[in-house]
Amino acid sequence: MTYLLITKIINRMDDDEIRQIVQNVVRKMTGTPQTDPLPASPVGKRIVALGADHGGFELKGILKTEIESLGFVVMDVGTNSKEPVDYPDFAHSVAQMVGTGRAWRGIMIDGAGIGSCIVANKVPNVRAGMAYDVSSASNGREHNDTNVLTLGAGLIGVNLAKQIVKVWLTTDFGGDRHTKRVDKIKSVEKMYLK
């Protein structure tokens, strides 16, 4: 009876939720302190880390409202003004939240989206992809299971950015033949984490 109940609960959870539970159990079993507490979120809400440099600051504010209207919890990692800043700092913060499991997904906005994508992909457990249209957003999720999206505020308009974000956040990973390829991406990453 208990086994069936646990199985039903686990089947309703996504991989990130299960990973978080396992990490908490291992932490408790080994006595390892949790140095960076997970942000609290309403039950069932998924956390999206959101960041931008000065070039993406205005678009970040617009997209924050859009993401929240879709039912997600936004963790804004900055920047908080149009004062010049370095995009690697904010791309790293977004990617770190996703890579450590503190956020379900992440979105980073800079001028072109390319540099932030490069930075985010340096963080373990992150598969960042830049999207410039709805098709690339959908493909990144469905085929590559991207968990960080980068956008170029200087290359796309507000309406297109909203469409890209909505598609990216609501598209599931396709699995099947794509799973083998994503597993190969993960194995390449592991080769360099030694």
Q: Can 178 be counted among the known catalytic residues?
A: no
Task: Give the count of domains, the chain.
Answer: 1
pLDDT at position 32: 46
Q: Is residue 59 in some structural domain?
A: yes
Number of alpha carbons in the 13 Å side-chain half-sphere of residue 10: 10
Parent domain of 121: 47-170
pLDDT at position 194: 73
pLDDT averaged per 10 residues, the chain (length 194): 50 57 58 45 80 98 98 97 97 98 98 98 97 98 98 97 98 93 94 86
pLDDT at position 96: 98
pLDDT at position 5: 44
Distances (CA, A) of 88 to 68, 97, 112, 135: 25, 14, 13, 26
Q: What is the CATH number of the domain that holds 123?
A: 3.40.1400.10
Q: Is residue 81 in some structural domain?
A: yes
